Structure 1
Amino acid sequence: MTLAIPGFDHLRLPGADKVELAAAVGGQGSPLVLLHGFPQTHLMWRHVAERLADEHTVICPDLRGYGASDKPAATGPEVYSKRTMAADIVALAAALGHERFALVGHDRGALVAFRAGLDHPETLTHLGILDVVPTLDMWNVLHGIPAAVGYHLFLMAQPPGLPETMITNSADTFFGSFLDAWSSNPSAIPEPVRSAYLQASTAAVPSIVADYRASASIDVTHDQADQDAGSQLAMPVTVVQQDWGARLGYDAASIWRAWAPDLDHRLTGAGHYMAEEAPDEITEAIRDLLLR
């Protein structure tokens, strides 16, 4: 099994603040950027990217702090804020000659995509979100025993030192537990890909923790400021997610509609790793989004 997206070039491209991002780039047509989630790399898009490459120039970066991208030291919360990570993606696309592009993100990448939509509305033509709610809303809906599914959010929100030590001492077990618990079809992440995810995540513990820590601090501040200002996503938005609202007692579609007036909200029977478990479904959702 190849651990690359067939037919794609693998490049290093400039992000923000002199950070370089690794990216797989392939296909032809209007630009589409796909952002991965946790604890993954751009490889999570391997099936979807191939399906879309006949219609679009598909760009699959590793987020800063993940995969083969640079992992700057977290000298302050802004280094891994979603605002900074969104600026990375805008800079990367511009380096490829794309001043406007469609953006789809999963999990952590979806939070980056959400922030890009608010901060760079003139740049994004369409926005796709897989299996999250915005950071501010996430903290508001996590309560009671069902919220134990998000224990890692609270662990990595702790001050520097303890989370990094605990995770480093059991990195494969920690990261592997999410690949097991959040998948409804483990065979969708075959062993070579799983090993690649675990190896990449184990090498990136400090930056992954910093990413999550930012979501318990500066990212909330940014979301709250936009909510207070009445900011909304100006572009067509498609959200595909599991029915977390039914499990945790909230209306996910209503949460997203408050941010995205032009919303297509879809529920899926696939697990969290839906781009790997149900690539045809996710490809169709992205194609439908790009036709709006």
Structure 2
Amino acid sequence: MGITIAGFETRSIGVADGVELNAAIGGQGPAVMLLHGFPETHLMWRHVAPILAERHTVVCPDLRGYGASGKPEAVAAGTYSKRTMAADIVALADALGFDRFVLVGHDRGGHVAFRAGLDHPDRISHLGILDIVPTLDTWNVLHGVGAAVAFHLYLMAQPPGLPEQMIADSAEAFFGHFLDVWSTSPAAIPADVRAEYLRASRDAVASIVADYRATATIDIDHDQADLDAGNRLTMPVTVVQQDWGRQLGFDATAIWRPWAPDLAHFTTGAGHFMAEEAPEDIATLILNLMKR
């Protein structure tokens, strides 16, 4: 038996087009959905989820293309668009009987949560985003040598073939690199969890690349269309980030404000894997978000 979140059951639930999402579910009360980042699985919430489950039903799915969830072949531009992945999350809520829910996403899950907030505002009561800026803004703020921190975005934006081959040929080193350099507290990801992240990522190279490739193509189109149409996040939004805006020369709060009029923005001293490095702080921020 693999690693699990204490007190949670794991289920595989169909959401669309023959795709099932693997999800850990626990607790009772109003629903909270927690979406993981790269190169992780739903296990990144193993400390935060039990805290929230004292008052809420908490659902931690593996995203489409990640972990033990379905990994359809990217036969169309939209297969791994954030619009499609957000629709998966709403379908998961439907299957579990949740009309409205709190949605919190980290990294890749943050991009999915952002798109879900724009596409399904009637379903999401509160939105939490950990350590990203919106897709459209991500590409706008990367420039000069500072953009080297995001070399993987440019690699996985390339046409199919070379990125998948390069990453598959050095998968452990590639995915392990991010677990190492993005953390300020290596002990926060113990050896058994790290091994599970690496195993899951090795098994999902093609779908992970497809997810990132969508961020350089169709996801930009969707964001731009919303920006042009004046569509904004209408629910209370909490964003928590490292202070990497200073390094890259931008004001993160100023970037988020036009998208989220009801915004609370915080910076953290934890590293990118903040839900694992500072779980009590992140749980408190989520609980405070729900009170707004």
TM-score interval for Structure 1 and Structure 2 normalised by the shorter chain:
over 0.9
SS at match of 1:288: helix
Take 2:16 and 2:61, find their aligned partners in 1: how far apart are those partners?
Answer: 14
**What CA deviation, in whole Å up to 9, does each residue of 1:51-97 have, x standing for no partner?**
11011000000000000000000001200000000000000011000
Amino acid corresponding to residue 96 of structure 1 in structure 2: L
Asked if 1:71 corresponds to 2:74, the answer is no
Percent identity between matched residues is: 68
Quote the offset at 1:283 in angstroms. 0.5
**Cα deviation, residue 2, structure 1:** 6.9
Deviation at residue 123 of structure 1 after TM alignment = 0.3
> Which residue matches 1:128?
128
Query: Counterpart in 2 of 1:12?
Result: 12
Mapped partners of 2:265, 2:138: distance in 1: 17
1:96 aligns with 2:96: yes
Which deviates more, 9-18 or 175-184? 9-18
The DSSP-based 3-state class of the residue aligned with 1:78 is: coil
Cα distance between partner residues in 1 of 2:288 and 2:2: 29
Q: Which residue of 1 aligns with 2:215?
A: 215
SS at match of 2:16: coil
Aligned equivalents of 2:18, 2:2: Cα separation in 1: 30
Stretches of structure 2 that go unaligned for 5 or more consecutive residues are none
The number of aligned residues is 292
**Which consecutive aligned stretches of 4+ in structure 1 deviate over 4 angstroms post-superposition?**
none
- 1:133 match: secondary structure: coil
SS of equivalent residue, structure 1 residue 59: strand
Aligned to 2:188: 188
- What are the Cα deviations for residues 23-73 of structure 1, in whole angstroms up to 9, with x where unaligned? 000000100000000000000000000111011000000000000000000
The CA deviation at 1:208 is 0.1
SS of match in other structure, 1:6: coil
Cα deviation, 1:210-257, whole Å, max 9, x if unaligned, reads 000000000000000000111100100000000111010011001100
Structure-2 residue corresponding to 1:145: 145
In the superposition, the TM-score normalised over structure 2's length comes to 0.99
Using the TM superposition, give the Cα deviation of residue 15 of structure 1 relative to its aligned residue in structure 2, in angstroms: 1.6
Partner Cα distance (2:206, 2:110) in 1: 21
Which amino acid in 2 is paired with 1:225?
A: A
Q: Confirm whether residue 31 of structure 1 aligns to residue 31 of structure 2.
A: yes
CA contact 1:16–1:84 (8 Å) conserved in 2: no
Give distance in 1, aligned partners of 2:247 and 2:3.
35
Cα drift, residue 120 of structure 1? 0.1
* 1:244 correspondence with 2:255: no
Please give the alpha-carbon distance, in whole angstroms, between the structure 1 residues aligned to 2:138 and 2:46.
28
1:184-212 deviation digits (Å, cap 9, x = unpaired): 00000000000000000000000000000
Secondary structure, aligned partner of 2:212? helix
Q: Give runs of aligned pairs for residues 273-284 of structure 1, distance below 5 A.
A: 273-284=273-284
Amino acid at match of 1:279: P
What is the aligned partner in structure 2 of residue 269 from structure 1? 269
Counterpart of 1:44? 44
Q: Counterpart of 1:228 in structure 2: which amino acid? A: D
Partner letter of residue 240 of structure 1? V
Quick check: 1:136–1:220 contact (8 Å CA) kept in 2?
yes
Q: Give the RMSD, CA atoms, in angstroms.
A: 0.9
* Cα deviation, residue 99, structure 1: 1.3
CA distance in 1, matches of 2:159, 2:52: 41
Q: Report if the CA contact (8 A) 1:15-1:91 is conserved.
A: yes
Q: What amino acid does structure 2 have at the position aligned with 1:98? A: F
Partner Cα distance (1:40, 1:107) in 2: 10
